[in-house]
Structure 1
Amino acid sequence: MGPSEEDQIFEYLNLLVSRPEVRRALGENARRYVERECNWDLVATRYADFLKALHEGRPWPEPRPDAAPAIDGAMPESGRAHEQAIAPFGIEPPVPARAPEPEPEAVIEPEYIAGWAENPESRTYIETHTTRLVRTLEITPRGTALDRVLEMGAYLQITPALKTKLGYGEVRGCYYGEPGRVDRRSIVSADGETFECEIDHFNAEKDSFPYPDGHFATVLCCELIEHLFEDPMHLMSEINRILKPGGHLVLTTPNVISNRAISAILQGYHPGFFHAYIRPPKPGKEVEARHNREYSPREVHRLLENSGFVVALLETGEFRDEPHPEHGWVYHLLDRYSLSTDLRGDGIYAVGEKTGGVRERYPGWLYT
């Protein structure tokens, strides 16, 4: 690979990062290659043949390794044009195989979510965040009657759909509050559909979550991590603990490097999405939590990996799908200076698959 072809390296590494099945297949192929080509009997025989040829003064034909089986996954599109370039060097390009059909995303109508609004405030919030709420449900893996799912910071806006649209047998919620408190909530939709759910209370940065190890198939942590004050990895560690092996974390959070944020910085404003201090609440009202730290997509990727997850999906999008012509100049500026225009939406959407325990409790990029 030439010195100016770093994009090829990026494409292959990106494939390995984004496609766990390809990564596993590549590792399995490597293991089989080592077993086949690097065992002691074969290596000793080849050394003996080489020394014999050297002693007899004849050329030694270097044996060609057996062709490795194809990786079960598609090759990056930009890598296909590279096949002819690498073939003369005796490197066999990977043979693309048919990738498994992805599970179809759930079809969620915005009207269905809006039908669960309990009051005018909830209805206004849903209208403002319609695109985000729908997209969150679309990227959440489907469940079965035997699967459990936990929604953290549950407002019961998308919670019913986890059961009625995604098929989970047990749906549970949790919220900030006194440990041990459990609220039993029941709501009725505009269509007369009833949904019941238990909401556990605890401090996600300090308390042990009140669930056994490997209890849930999926955990949703949506628009929550940006509110944490001091120890986000406690939350991530506990999520890892309560997820079963191969379970999924669905994480959404505002994007601190969005087009909106860049526009704000370059015009002299703060880039944060909700960085203002909060006035004392009115009697009987909860204190709203400001954003203490917002994240970039790259940081979310690192956060998931540090926490024992492989990144199955990472994208950005809008809270509400509507035109933003006021940010067009930001796109042109980034393009003009060859800076990435990818992952610049207002919100980050990520799905991680649990592959093991927490890898780094206090990652250096997040703690000091």
Structure 2
Amino acid sequence: MTEHKIGIIMNGVTGRMGTNQHLIRSIKAIREQGGVLLKNEDTLIPDPILVGRNEKKLKALADAHGIERYSTDLEAALADDYNEIYFDSQTTVRRAESIKKAIAAGKHIYCEKPTATNLEGSVELARLAREAGVKNGVVQDKLFLPGLLKLKRLIDAGFFGEILSVRMEFGYWVFEGDWQKGQRPSWNYRKEDGGGIIVDMFAHWRYVIDNLFGNVKSVSCLGATHIPERVDENGERYKATADDAAYGTFELENGIIVQANSSWAVRVNRDDLLTIQVDGTEGSAVAGLRDCKVQHRVNTPKPTWNPDIENPFDFQTQWQEVPTNDVFDNGFKVQWELFLKHVVADEAFPWDLLEGGAKGTQLSDLGLKSWQERRWIDVPDIKL
């Protein structure tokens, strides 16, 4: 058994998601477990170099987590042949240009989404990567959530019969920043900085819907900016120019109807920050981030509408939990392992810059267009 090190440029990991999910819970965790075991029993050890604009933050992050390499010089990191993979979790407006540089340097690409601020930019990245012959992938973290994996198990087992509809509820109250500090960065609420919940979440909904329920045929979307003014990290008031809520409906090629509400201006009265209800002819399920509950046809109650009497049903107790029969690792870490195997051992990784990137950006663009034009928009095939 041979141990192989692979250099990974990690750009933008001083941000919340980059630090917690990608560095600490993925790359650091993989290193601490002894690497990624390949089919030939060799071991792959990721060797990251942290890249960003603030050397002080990079040094503190590297020191805190036992990372030896960090730099503010992206070009130098790209010029080093030891670094085979470029990873990007910067803000959306900075991502595309850095990925282009990495492709030109011959690096394999792994990145967060959205891959660019519009469809044209995302398609260009997919085309450039294909022409350069570099392997590439986009984070699809929600597919690896325990709740969605349980839901996928039900779908594959035919539990639902014919699936009729899907209802997705996502969001929570993001504080305005005046009397309580906001728990999301202020750029999320500025359109000019790549913010907006449609740009953010429709990229997720595309791969969730396509991979679980069917290909999206058309979209209708209404966006809103419910909180018009917020306070940034420096205590300064600013105008919120991006949407903070989106109310979408998607028609799939197989006839399933999907409704998806996304909001940073909603207070949670459900089992989780994300819930997905699937209704079918034989049964229904509600999945959250980790849990999933079901109600089969034979266990479905028979309520009738009568507002003049107390409700005789305790609906919440009439569902059964899907058991946790597997060990679910961190979804970001699992996908990192899959991508590393893809690069080194050519194992499958279907979520490339087209499938996992451009398609998500396309749905965001069409959602914004539907809102602007107040109409249904068909989703065409993407041509590279």
Which is bigger in relative contact order (C-alpha 8 A, separation at least 6)? 2
Q: TM-score, normalised by structure 1?
A: 0.30
Q: Which has the higher strand share?
A: 2
